[in-house]
């Protein structure tokens, strides 16, 4: 097993998924690419099955709330053979829906359940969209930026930590 330099690995990734992704580049020592939600399963499958890439491990999948811009899902896969990481960025907009990756990586099931529960991101075709952490009767998605914490509804925040709180000393 010999490490492939990120620049060379990026060229290999571009050659394999270049027509499926955009902005394939090396940043911070890892390969990054932007992927359309409709193409994510094809991209992840290509990264996993291509012998010269061999990204056989899904190491991370999480949601990001960009408020007005909508949601993003970040998917990270790793190649043990080449000792490289590929980070995929999937912009979902306000729709917050993308296909499930459980058909490619079984481990995506847990990550997708968490992103669904915490952000409200939907994964079409997910085999088990049950909650992981919260009670069944819980309403809302706690990691969305517009989610109101109960402690702030009932008790004002003791200091101005957010810019919007500077004038009023706390918001309800």
Domain membership of residue 162 as a residue range: 142-172
Residue 135 and residue 155 in one domain:
no
Residue 157 and residue 133 in one domain:
no
pLDDT at 11 exceeding the cut of 50: yes
Domain count, the chain: 2
125-139: average pLDDT: 92
pLDDT at 72 exceeding the cut of 90: yes
Residue 82 and residue 116 in one domain:
yes
75-111 b/e (C-beta count within 10 Å ≥ 16 → b) = bbbbbebbebbbbbbbbbeeebebbbbbebbeebbeb
pLDDT per residue as tens digits for the range 103-128:
999 999 999 999 999 999 999 999 99
**pTM for this entry:** 0.84
């Amino acid at each position: 097993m010999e490490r492939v330099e990120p620049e060379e690995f990026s060229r290999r990734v571009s050659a394999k998924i270049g027509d499926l992704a955009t902005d394939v580049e090396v940043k911070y020592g890892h390969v990054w690419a932007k992927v359309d939600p409709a193409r994510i399963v094809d991209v992840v499958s290509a990264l996993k099955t291509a012998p010269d890439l061999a990204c056989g491990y899904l190491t991370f999948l999480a949601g990001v709330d960009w408020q007005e811009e909508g949601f993003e899902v970040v998917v990270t896969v790793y190649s043990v053979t080449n000792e490289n990481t590929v980070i995929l960025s999937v912009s979902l907009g306000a729709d917050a829906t993308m296909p499930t990756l459980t058909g490619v990586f079984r481990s995506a099931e847990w990550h997708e359940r968490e992103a669904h529960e915490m952000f409200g991101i939907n994964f079409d075709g997910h085999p088990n969209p049950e909650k992981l952490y919260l009670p069944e009767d819980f309403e809302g998605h706690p990691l969305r930026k517009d989610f109101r914490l109960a402690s702030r509804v009932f008790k004002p925040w003791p200091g101005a930590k957010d810019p919007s709180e500077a004038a009023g000393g706390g918001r309800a």
